[in-house]
Structure 1
Amino acid sequence: MIPIALPLLGAQEAEAARAAVLSGWVSQGPEVAAFERDFSALVGAPHACAVSNCTAALHMALKALDIGPGDEVIAPSHSFIATVNCIRYCGAKPVFVDIEPDGYNIDPARVGEAITPRTRAIIAVHQMGMPCDLAALAELSRRHGIALVEDAACAAGSQIRFDGTWEPIGRPRGDIACFSFHPRKVITTGEGGMLTTRDPALDEKFRLLRQHGMSVPDTVRHGAKQVIIEDYLIVGYNYRMTDIQAAIGRGQLARLPELVARRRALAARYGKLLADLDGLHLPREPDWARSNWQSFCVRLPDRADQRDIMQKLLDRGVASRRGIMCAHREAPYAQDGARLPLSERAQDRAILLPLYAQMSESDQDRVAEALMDALRS
């Protein structure tokens, strides 16, 4: 079986985890702080805060921005459901907008049309690692005085060009960027997340929110020469990352450039292998974006049945996934009555093909041949 994804973990990460275990400090501690420094340096963000997963990161981002009941947050429906669940966690209302006609990211023109006096924030997803149009979205957020949160769950290692200069996703161009380290992502800590920001006040809120609102972190209290009694300043959460995860994450960060380079090479090769398939729409990378190719998503010809194609691939030992889900079609959000034809078409007509750094060219050839045969039949 050729899997849809496969994390690249080896002796380096195993030894890092072993060292963390033997250190005696396995919860949030010095390795988490080091991981935050490494990630901050990698993306060029002044502040980075590690958490238990990206869902926690998105929730904390909105809480730190004081999003609450009566507020509206604009977001794509065409994303994993965690993107909009976090809006509901805060008691706010998600306002769904459609994606761009030629891609899978939120359409800035439709965002502009959806802004009302109750709009407090925009969540922009870098879907499958492909950067969205941050320049247009950042201009909208500034003009209307609303926050911009980047759901960069899939985008570690992706880049975007601003004013002729390439910069990593996560600097960030919005107020906050949120990352995931789930095993389906380019780098992994098993589970884990990260928030980056330029704003020290937001970073301070993150650190309170992730640890029950505690005024003094464990690392300070345990290292103090005098007794310290902490206070609990706000209602917080247990969204901490462990030192074991962070130690693995530091090893993964060292691999990130080679992982992205390999994935970009595989994506380019897919483009050549599949270029002549009639009616198959390949993903497009804008000239101002460099994707990490967390996923390779193709749009099927109109004549093809998505489930049938996926089953034929599976019968040939090739895993695939349907197009990215639409939250407005799921039970918690269906009553909102949103009609998003481009998002729905992307979910119903697209499939994700296997892509991971260890993938051999012969494996990739098998995937391409299986897809060709499935479409021809």
Structure 2
Amino acid sequence: MIPVMRPWLGEEEARAASEAVLSGWVAQGPRVAEFEAAFAGAVGVPHAIAVSSCTTGLHLCLIGAGVGPGDEVVVPSLSFIATTNAVMYAGAVPVFADVDAATLNLTPETVEAAVTPRTKAVILVDQCGIPADLDAVRAVCEPRGITVIEDAACAAGVTYKGRPAAMAAELAAFSFHPRKVLTTGEGGMVTAHDAGVAARLKRLREHAMSVSAADRHASSTVTLEGYDEVGYNYRMTDIQAAIGLVQLRKLPEMVARRRELAERYQKALSGIPGLVTATDPSYGTTNYQSFWVTLPEDHPISRDDLLVRLAERGVSARRALMAAHLQPAYAHIGASLPVTERLTRDSVTLPLYHEMTEEEQDRVVEVLYDK
């Protein structure tokens, strides 16, 4: 079976994890701090806060933006459900907006249509590693005092206007889940520009302790921590961070290989009339975290039948994206999102991973050409 995704992990990551275990410090500690500094440098931001997942990172971003009960947050329905769930964690109200069919991302126009006087923030997703147009959406939001939070779950190694994705975002959250290009197994990272906000989020991810466990351990005197507000256990372990440091060094090579494979897919599939494939937007480059295609409306078989055919031929594929507003958990939120509904019905994620061979890719392409 050709997998839809396989992380590029090897001996170097195994040694790094082993060294962390043998050091005796396996919880959040010096390797987490090192990973935070290295990631901040790679993205070009002053502050990075390692967390247990992108979902918890988004929750912290919303807190950092001052989002609370009664506030509205505009989100794309066309995203993994965690984007919407994070809004609920903050006690706020998600408001669904439609997306662009070529990038799968929110646009200034779809955001504008969803904004109300109660809107406190917008979560802008770099869907499947395709950068969203941050500056254009901020131009709609900032005059209204609305914070734009970047859900950069898929965006490690992505560029926007020649810079790392999320570099300019006031707050952003990355994912290191195994389906992402850079993985630590589970885990995530928040990036921030404001030193005060970053310091608060670092406290909140560790139960809001006034002095971290690592700092207390390093102190030569007895240090008693305090708790000034309700916090969370959103910490990353040093074992995960050790793996992340290795993965971060490999990131440029991983992105380059994925872009090679994506270009090969694009050329191979160009003979299917009406098929839309993932590609770079005019203002940035994607890491092809996922390679998705949207079937033409007159395609001879449905998306679900194509998934069955692929599986029967030994190819693991997935629907490209879910639509949160069509799930039972959010069915009570009314939304008319024609582009989102078309994409979630007719799009497929094809296999793409660092060690994929041309022979494997040819097998995938062959199935799509079958009548």
- Within the candidate set 279, 287, 305, 1:308 is matched to 305
Note if contact 1:176-1:196 (Cα within 8 Å) is conserved in structure 2. Answer: yes
Partner residue in 2 for 1:68: 68
Note if contact 1:208-1:234 (Cα within 8 Å) is conserved in structure 2. Answer: no
User: Partners of 1:18 and 1:101 in 2: how far apart?
Assistant: 44
Note if contact 1:97-1:107 (Cα within 8 Å) is conserved in structure 2. Answer: no
Note if contact 2:175-2:189 (Cα within 8 Å) is conserved in structure 1. Answer: yes
- Within the candidate set 252, 270, 273, 1:275 is matched to 270
Partner residue in 1 for 2:315: 318
Note if contact 1:56-1:239 (Cα within 8 Å) is conserved in structure 2. Answer: yes
Q: What per-residue deviation string (whole Å, max 9, x for no partner) do you get for residues 74-132 of structure 1?
A: 11000000001010111110110000143311122110122221110000000000001
Q: How many Å apart are 1:246 and its aligned residue?
A: 0.2
Note if contact 1:138-1:174 (Cα within 8 Å) is conserved in structure 2. Answer: no
User: Partners of 1:62 and 1:3 in 2: how far apart?
Assistant: 35
Aligned partner of residue 116 in structure 1, secondary structure: coil
TM-score between the two structures when normalised by the length of structure 1:
0.96
TM-score between the two structures when normalised by the length of structure 2:
0.98
User: Partners of 1:216 and 1:236 in 2: how far apart?
Assistant: 13
- 1:327 equivalenced with 2:344 (yes/no): no
Note if contact 2:103-2:130 (Cα within 8 Å) is conserved in structure 1. Answer: no
- Within the candidate set 247, 250, 275, 1:252 is matched to 247
Partner residue in 2 for 1:141: 141
Aligned partner of residue 277 in structure 2, secondary structure: coil
Segments of 5+ residues of structure 1 without an aligned counterpart are none
Note if contact 2:124-2:149 (Cα within 8 Å) is conserved in structure 1. Answer: yes
User: Partners of 2:347 and 2:26 in 1: how far apart?
Assistant: 42
Aligned partner of residue 123 in structure 1, secondary structure: strand
Partner residue in 2 for 1:56: 56
Q: Percent identity?
A: 51
Partner residue in 1 for 2:176: 181
- 1:359 equivalenced with 2:344 (yes/no): no
Partner residue in 1 for 2:111: 111
Specify the code of the residue in structure 1 equivalent to 2:207. Answer: H
- Bigger drift between 329-338 and 35-44 goes to 329-338
Q: What per-residue deviation string (whole Å, max 9, x for no partner) do you get for residues 40-83 of structure 1?
A: 01010100000001010001111122211110001100000000
Note if contact 2:205-2:231 (Cα within 8 Å) is conserved in structure 1. Answer: yes
- 1:170 equivalenced with 2:166 (yes/no): yes
User: Partners of 2:325 and 2:237 in 1: how far apart?
Assistant: 34
Specify the code of the residue in structure 2 equivalent to 1:224. Answer: S
Note if contact 1:73-1:94 (Cα within 8 Å) is conserved in structure 2. Answer: yes
- 1:228 equivalenced with 2:220 (yes/no): no
Partner residue in 2 for 1:42: 42
- The ranges of structure 1 where at least 4 consecutive aligned residues each deviate by more than 3 angstroms after the TM superposition are none
User: Partners of 1:41 and 1:107 in 2: how far apart?
Assistant: 29
Partner residue in 2 for 1:29: 29
Q: How many Å apart are 1:26 and its aligned residue?
A: 0.2
Q: What per-residue deviation string (whole Å, max 9, x for no partner) do you get for residues 137-191 of structure 1?
A: 1212222111110000001000011xxxx100131x2211100000000010000
User: Partners of 1:369 and 1:324 in 2: how far apart?
Assistant: 23
Note if contact 1:78-1:343 (Cα within 8 Å) is conserved in structure 2. Answer: yes
Q: What per-residue deviation string (whole Å, max 9, x for no partner) do you get for residues 304-360 of structure 1?
A: 311111110111100100120000011121111211110010000000000001101
RMSD: 0.9
User: Partners of 1:83 and 1:131 in 2: how far apart?
Assistant: 16
- 1:371 equivalenced with 2:368 (yes/no): yes
Partner residue in 2 for 1:294: 289
Equivalent residues in 2 for 1:183-198 (5 A)? 183-198=178-193
How has the CA–CA distance of structure 1 residues 101 and 301 changed in structure 2, closer, same or farther, with 3 Å as cutoff?
Answer: closer
- 1:211 equivalenced with 2:211 (yes/no): no
Segments of 5+ residues of structure 2 without an aligned counterpart are none
Q: What per-residue deviation string (whole Å, max 9, x for no partner) do you get for residues 205-234 of structure 1?
A: 111110001000111101111100000111
User: Partners of 1:170 and 1:99 in 2: how far apart?
Assistant: 19
- 1:338 equivalenced with 2:335 (yes/no): yes
User: Partners of 1:170 and 1:23 in 2: how far apart?
Assistant: 33
User: Partners of 1:283 and 1:64 in 2: how far apart?
Assistant: 33
Partner residue in 1 for 2:17: 17
User: Partners of 2:356 and 2:56 in 1: how far apart?
Assistant: 31
Note if contact 1:147-1:174 (Cα within 8 Å) is conserved in structure 2. Answer: no
Q: How many Å apart are 1:282 and its aligned residue?
A: 1.6
User: Partners of 1:149 and 1:121 in 2: how far apart?
Assistant: 7
Note if contact 2:74-2:114 (Cα within 8 Å) is conserved in structure 1. Answer: yes
Aligned partner of residue 314 in structure 1, secondary structure: helix
